[in-house]
Amino acid sequence: MVETVLILILSYLLGSIPFALLVGKLGFGIDIRQHGSGNLGGTNTFRVLGKKAGFIVSASDVLKGTLAASLPFLLNADLHPLLAGIPAVIGHCYPVFAKFKGGKAVATSGGVLLFVEPLLFLLVVLIFFIALYICQFVSLSSIIAGIGSVVLGYFFSDLLTTYILIGFTLFLVYRHRQNIVRIANGTEPKVKWIRKRSSS
């Protein structure tokens, strides 16, 4: 019981590390919360600071989810890795180190999945980029990828994994509710670079 509580606390603290804020301040001298959408995530970092910074932040957010999910293995505790990863996802969205205003949980959720089901993670990433190429909306592509993870999880994984993926996807939809409204209103920004090479 003590180990489980410790893992959940450590997982939340890992998720709370605001890599977008750190990269913005240390690498560029700006507070990314005051630019773009204000979110502490990879998408806003890409838009505000460029591809290199965006990749660093996105990869770091994925890895903190992976590390959080691995805590039961590292500490030899009897706790499902997906359950261990949930506080990291919450921490990313509501980080104690950044006044509880974080990102949208996409990369960190993916990092948790990466540790538990690496092949499923790769398939979900593929779904994300196919959806992104078609619609050019990161938010919508993230939701589609979440739905894809549930469908794939149902056929290729156990029920507990599927149920947790459903929870992750519902939380992801909740976090993107404003984006959904902007898509409906035609005001959500599109990702232009993904089609540049093919159109040139």
Q: Is 103 left (phi over 0), alpha (psi -120 to 50) or beta?
A: beta
The answer, yes or no, to whether residue 200 has pLDDT greater than 50, is: no
User: What does the pLDDT look like over 31-71, one tens digit per residue?
Assistant: 999 998 889 999 999 989 999 999 999 999 999 999 999 99
**DSSP assigned state of 109:** H
User: What does the pLDDT look like over 130-174, one tens digit per residue?
Assistant: 999 999 999 999 999 999 999 999 999 899 999 999 999 999 999
**Phi and psi angles of residue 127, each rounded to the nearest 5 degrees, phi first:** -60, -45
**DSSP assigned state of 189:** P
Residue 73 Cα distances to 4, 84, 90, angstroms: 12, 10, 21
Query: In the prediction, which pLDDT does 197 show?
Result: 53
